[in-house]
Amino acid sequence: MVIDRIALIIMIIGGLNWGSVGLFNTDLVALAFGSGSTAARIIYALVGIAALWCISLLFRERSAITEDHVEAEARSTKD
């Protein structure tokens, strides 16, 4: 599903940001958008929402994930 990929991409971005905080004490989101700014808060909220969505990936049956992937591939080859 497209939303699964979007959520994973957002989680990767969030993970890289937390990695930079842990390793270099640098919050890249705050650096780019300003600490406590509305834009930074929106990004943090999106990362949180993506994390909640990714929790659902843990509890999906493997066959359901595979079926979604097969359906997506079939749609992409039709275009």
- How many domains is the chain built from? 1
What is the pLDDT, as a whole number, of residue 74?
78
What is the pLDDT, as a whole number, of residue 79?
60
- Contact between 2 and 10 (Cβ < 8 Å): no
What pTM was computed for the model?
A: 0.73
Query: What is the pLDDT tens value at each position of the chain, 79 positions in all?
Result: 899 999 999 999 999 999 999 999 999 999 999 999 999 999 999 999 999 999 999 888 776 666 666 777 777 777 6
Structure tokens at 67: 């079926």
Domain region containing 30: 2-78
Considering just the CA atoms, what is the radius of gyration of the chain in Å? 16
What is the pLDDT, as a whole number, of residue 67?
66
Give CA–CA dist 9/15, Å, rounded: 10
